[in-house]
Structure 1
Amino acid sequence: MPSPPSRWTLRSKLLASMLALFSVIMLATGALTLLETQRYLERGLVSDLSTVLSRVDVDRDRDGRTLPPRGRGDRPGAPGGGDVLVLGLKADGTVATTASGVAINAVVNEDREDDVLDARQVRRIARADVGTQPRRVEIGGDVGTYLLKADTLPGGSRLIVGVSTHPVDELLAKLLALVAGGTMLGLVAVGVGGTVLIRRSLAPLDRVAATARRVSDLKLDSGQVALAERVPADDADPNTEVGQVGLALNTMLDNVESALHARQESETQVRQFVADASHELRTPLASIRGYAELTRRESEPVPPTVTHAIGRVESEALRMQVLVEDLLLLARLDAGRPLEREPVDLSLLAVNAVSDAHAASPDHVWELDLPEEPVEVPGDQARLHQILANLLANARTHTPAGTRVITRVRPEGSLVRISVNDDGPGVPDAVQATVFERFTRGDDARTRNGGSTGLGLSIVAAVGQAHGGRVEMSSRPGDTTFSVLLPAE
């Protein structure tokens, strides 16, 4: 099914408009030409008919005969050429005769002997009721169509004289064919020429669109972005419509580039601040934990309330230290610091991570699904272990006791998939789109057994991307899977 005109390309619309306009002009011009030519030729036919009738009348008055002389040179042929019909009809519709008994019934032909109308053709002319006004009558047979006019004879008879319309009809048919053929040839010429001209005229717009497509393919969501693409100066002339579009696109790209530079500077400052703050906080947090532990080792009796308070200080200091370490790791990954690249046995990492998770939460059901052969990838062993630890901690923290958690490692072509699946309540729909962003929590819909910084999954995503991989997540109640795909080589 062809697409509607509203979905046509600009080239198609312009070409269709040109062809439609040309067709309307040619058809209107051709129609007016044909009508005017027809009127002119028919006026000529009427004039020829009047001339022929006057000749017949003159011959009749001069010789006392009604039928024209039989001599070839004296025949009353049409002034414009063509056959002439002469027919006498009595009042009862029969063919009249001259005084000498010759039937007044003939078609005077310039190239052959005169033809005589048959009875059927005579009846057709009689039924046409030809009068003093010219009338076209289809006589039939080989005679064709004639323009007829009648004159009254003595005794109530009529003398009908006609001129053949064949020359006029033939000329009009040729003119119609010429107009139609010229229109078709013109449409072909306009179609080919218009396509070339439109293509050349829209070439600057194509170059502007190509620039916009190249810019749209750039990754602009993060990192240092250089927008070197611009519309060429020749296509950014403000004096043309396409140039105005190109100039507007260049101006927009300049503004976008400035905004991206400002964003990059702001992100760099924030990351540097987080890195510096995290680094600076490590020392006082270590001191707080050290003094808390030292207080608990005091030999003198300590009141229970003080012991509880010191325990809480130590616990919160440890939690804050974990948060600081996570922030410092993310800041280093954002800064693009290279990771170690050495073969890492993911199967062994998965065994160790699941063993740790079982010790931390024995109420969950922890299972392993590993291939028979060890699976290795190049990467940083500590960071890859952190991926598994964070995924298992996420399942442990946000699912109730008794939840079944399966850890799988599977080669998939040039990639290796690490996945953690649980049959818990699932991730809320409102959180799924941002689950790997920093400080995202799903505590509103999932059981929370312990504190969460909201950085665990963002570290998984950052470490996976730093290894050249990606993260995936699918979740519905009773089936939630977090996956990390890493290059196998």
Structure 2
Amino acid sequence: MTRRPLTLQRALVIGASALVAIALLIMGVATLTALRAFVYDRLDEQVQGGLMMVGGQRDGGHGQFSGTDAGASPAPGPSPSSTSGSGGRGPSPRVGSLQLVVAADGSVQSSSYTQSDGTVVTLSTDQVAILQADVPTDGVPVTADLGEDLGAFRVAARDSDGSTVFSGISLADSAATTTALTTILVAVGAVTLLAAIAGLSVLVRRALRPLDRVAAVAQRVSGLSLGRGDVDIPDRVAQADTDTRTEVGRVGASLNDLLGHVQAALAARAHSENELRRFIADASHELRTPLASVRGYAQLTLSGPEPMSSTQQRSLERIESESRRMGTLVEDLLLLARLDAGQRLRVDDVELPLLAIDAVSDAQAVDREREWRLDVASDDPLTVPGDEDRLRQVVANLLRNAHTHTPPGTVVTTSIRREGDEAVLSVTDTGPGIDPVVADTLFERFARGDRARNRDAGSTGLGLSIAQAIVLAHGGSLAVRSRPGETSFTVRLPAFRSSPVTADA
């Protein structure tokens, strides 16, 4: 499945939003990292201060420590002490702090932990063992986990007069602070990101409106039919969107310049076509009289009583034949010029089946070497609005094309059928087909199919172009489909649904 491409607006919003999200993430991570480093630095200072205080109490207090006597052994687990605080000898211990003194022989001289309610309890044997195993005695605070009962601590230890003194502070408050800040940063970051996406959507949409207007002009112009005739391109980009100081303005101004050049080129082309069309019409009209005179004199000379040599008679016959062929060519050129000029055709009710029957009968009478077939539905009159003489010319040209470009023995079938609101007339032959090289130029004027089919002399190359011009003038279409052994020309014309209504020309 092909992925749907992103629009410029969506790509800009997504890209900018991604950058904002990355910036918020970096800011949050940096804030949490800085806060954690600051909190740990403060805790380490407090731990080291507590370590110095415990050492000072031991050195100057005759072996008395808060929580237990110097020679007392700790209880096997945390349990309330008989005193709260230091018994009046110095400040009360901080909530969440612990103190431990281990003698040189490994016995615990003193241990205490101040709970959140101010109660002082002793450390268990396992917790003492963890501190002895995980905390070096170099006075540098480290993190030690004392289990689910107490959690993580920042603890420092040092040797003092043969004993090891431990001091620590719980990380619970720091963890709670970090967690709360993380929650706040995530919530604020999410709201900020949503607000940024909404703001970017509005800003980008407003910024791209001029580009949308320029694209709308280009789209409307692309839908115009610029192939033939007088073409006007009234659409232009608005003056407000052609400021060359902006990127969109440069695009709009360039599009206006391009449309101006295209319209000028189309006007020049239309003028040239009109001049050529007028010349062809005038020349064809003027040539009709002298060609008729040449043909008339040739016929008069041939029918005269004076004897002629065989060369003279042959020459006059060729003069008559070529003048007749040239007259046909002139008539075809004059008809094309009139159709190109938009000459309106007569509109009558034309019954296609009768027209096809006459055309096939004429072709069969002229050519006995091919098999001419007719396939017409008898229950549908298939009446179309149009010029009967011109439509007869279309069918005759298609049948003449099959006669000219197919070998003897070819089967040529003319069929008529209804498809919806259209009458479809097809002329299909079983000849060798059309060479793909010339298929694209088949309806061009003076196009020849010599490379594709056998043909007799006499073709002007205008038959199919005339047929197409007449069909287009009737609001229909002419198409061809060809392969070896089957070539089909299909004419589609608007047809009456029920009783036909005659339209005036």
Q: Does the pair score TM above 0.5?
A: yes
Displacement after TM superposition at 1:378 (Å): 0.8
Corresponding position: 1:84 with 2:102? no
The answer as to 2:270 corresponding to 1:272 is no
Quick check: 2:54–2:165 contact (8 Å CA) kept in 1?
no
Q: Which residue, out of 96, 100, 125, partners 2:108?
A: 96
Q: Which of 61, 85, 98 is matched with 1:72 structurally?
A: 85
Deviations 1:149-181 (A, max 9, x none): 113244x43121111111112212222222222
In 1, Cα distance between equivalents of 2:467 and 2:276? 21
What is the alpha-carbon distance in structure 1 between the residues aligned to residue 64 and residue 344 of structure 2?
122
Q: For the residues of structure 1 that align with 2:320 and 2:414, how far apart are their CA atoms?
A: 33
RMSD, matched Cα: 1.8
Instruction: Name the CA shift for 1:276/1:259 in 2 (closer, same or farther; >3 Å).
Output: same
The alpha-carbon distance between structure 1 residues 199 and 109, as it changes in their structure 2 partners (threshold 3 A), is same
Per-residue deviation at 1:187?
Answer: 1.4
Give the 3 Å change call, closer, same or farther, for CA 172–2 of structure 1 in structure 2: farther
Per-residue deviation, 1:90: 4.0
Q: Hey, what's the Cα distance between the residues in 1 that align with 2:128 and 2:402? A: 109
Mark the CA change 1:359 to 1:140 in structure 2 (over 3 Å): closer, same or farther: same
Distance in 2 (CA, whole Å) between partners of 1:2 and 1:344 is 51
Paired residue for 1:186? 192
Separation (CA, whole Å) in 2 of partners of 1:458 and 1:314: 26
Q: What is the 5 A alignment of 1:323-402?
A: 323-373=329-379, 374-402=381-409
Cα deviations by residue, 1:102-154 (Å, 9 ceiling, x for unpaired): xx222122414223332332222222143221110111122010011113244
Q: Which residue in the other structure is 1:35 paired with? A: 33
Tell me whether 352-361 or 406-415 shows the greater mean CA deviation.
352-361
Q: Which amino acid aligns with 1:330?
A: L
Seen in structure 2, the aligned counterparts of structure 1 residues 82 and 435 have a Cα distance that, compared at 3 Å, is farther
Aligned partner letter, 2:6: W
CA contact (8 A) 1:231 1:247 kept: yes
Structure 2 counterpart of 1:27, one-letter code: L
The answer (yes or no) to whether the contact 1:52–1:77 under 8 Å persists in 2 is no
Q: Provide closer, same or farther for how the CA distance between residues 338 and 92 of structure 1 changes in structure 2, counting only shifts above 3 A.
A: farther
The correspondence for 1:440, drawn from 447, 450, 462, is 447
- Give SS of 1:47's match: helix
Q: Is the 8 A contact 1:77 1:108 kept in 2?
A: no
User: Which residue of the partner structure matches residue 483 of structure 1?
Assistant: 490
Distance of 2:382 and 2:410 partners within structure 1: 27
For the pair 1:109 / 2:115, whether they are aligned, the reply is yes
User: Deviation at 1:29?
Assistant: 2.2
| TM-score, scaled to structure 2 | 0.91
Q: Classify 1:2/1:119 alpha carbon distance in 2 versus 1 (closer, same or farther; 3 Å).
A: farther
Please state if 1:303 is matched with 2:315. Answer: no
Residue in structure 2 matched with residue 464 of structure 1 by the alignment: 471
> How far did 1:305 drift?
1.3
2:56 is the alignment partner of 1:58: yes
CA shift, 1:38, in A, is: 1.7
> Counterpart of 1:282?
288
Q: Partner of 2:156: helix, strand, or coil?
A: strand
Say whether 1:138 aligns with 2:145. yes
The sequence identity of aligned pairs, in percent, is: 43
Measured after TM superposition, the shift of residue 32 of structure 1 is 2.3
**Secondary structure, counterpart of 1:140 in structure 2:** coil
Partner of 1:100: none
Instruction: Provide, for residues 27-67 of structure 1, a one-character-per-residue CA deviation record: whole Å limited to 9, x for no partner.
Output: 22222222222221111001111222222233323431352
Match of 1:431 among 408, 430, 438: 438
Name 1:15's counterpart in structure 2: 13
User: Contact 1:68 / 1:76 at 8 angstroms: preserved in 2?
Assistant: no
CA distance in structure 2 between the aligned counterparts of 1:198 and 1:146, rounded to whole angstroms: 51
How has the CA–CA distance of structure 1 residues 326 and 400 changed in structure 2, closer, same or farther, with 3 Å as cutoff? same
Question: What is the CA–CA distance in structure 2 between the aligned matches of 1:86 and 1:76, rounded to whole Å?
Answer: 14
Residue segments in structure 1 that go unaligned for 5+ positions in a row:
98-103
**C-alpha spacing 1:174/1:11, structure 2 compared with 1 (3 Å):** same
Distance 2:439 2:153 in 1: 89
C-alpha change, 1:457 and 1:2, in structure 2 (3 Å) is: closer
2:443 aligned counterpart, secondary structure: coil
Q: Output the amino acid matched with 1:447.
A: N
Task: Please report how far the alpha carbon of residue 71 of structure 1 lies from its aligned counterpart in structure 2 after TM superposition.
Answer: 4.1
1:212 and 2:218 are equivalent in the alignment: yes
Q: Deviations over 1:401-460 (max 9, x none)?
A: 001110011111111111100111111101111211111111112111232111100011
Partner SS state of residue 448, structure 1: coil
Query: Aligned equivalents of 1:273 and 1:53: distance in 2?
Result: 115
Question: Are the equivalent residues in 2 in contact too, given 1:96–1:157 (CA < 8 A)?
Answer: no
Aligned length in residues: 477
> C-alpha deviations, 1:278-306, integer Å up to 9, x for none?
11111111111111110111012221111
Task: Say if 1:56 and 1:68, in contact at 8 Å, map to a contact too.
Answer: no
Q: Are residues 1:411 and 2:427 paired?
A: no
CA distance in 1, matches of 2:325, 2:465: 18
Gaps (5+ residues) in structure 2? 68-82, 497-505
Secondary structure of 2:58 counterpart: helix
Distance, in Å, in 2 between the alignment partners of 1:61 and 1:325 is: 133
Give the match for residue 3 of structure 2: 3
Q: Which residue pairs with 2:169 in the alignment?
A: 163
Q: Distance in 1 between matches of 2:2 and 2:487?
A: 45
> Normalising by structure 1, what TM-score?
0.94
8 Å CA contact 1:52–1:76 kept in 2: the answer is: no
Shift in alpha-carbon separation, 1:58–1:2, aligned structure 2, 3 A: farther
Are residue 322 (structure 1) and residue 328 (structure 2) matched? yes
CA contact (8 A) 1:138 1:145 kept: yes
Structure 1 residue 172 and structure 2 residue 178: aligned?
yes
After superposition, the C-alpha distances for 1:234-282 in whole angstroms (9 at most, x for unaligned) are 1111121111110110011111111111000000000000100111111
CA distance in 2, matches of 1:423, 1:454: 21
Letter in 2 for 1:146: F
Q: Aligned partners of 2:32 and 2:242: how far apart in 1?
A: 50
Aligned to 1:49: 47
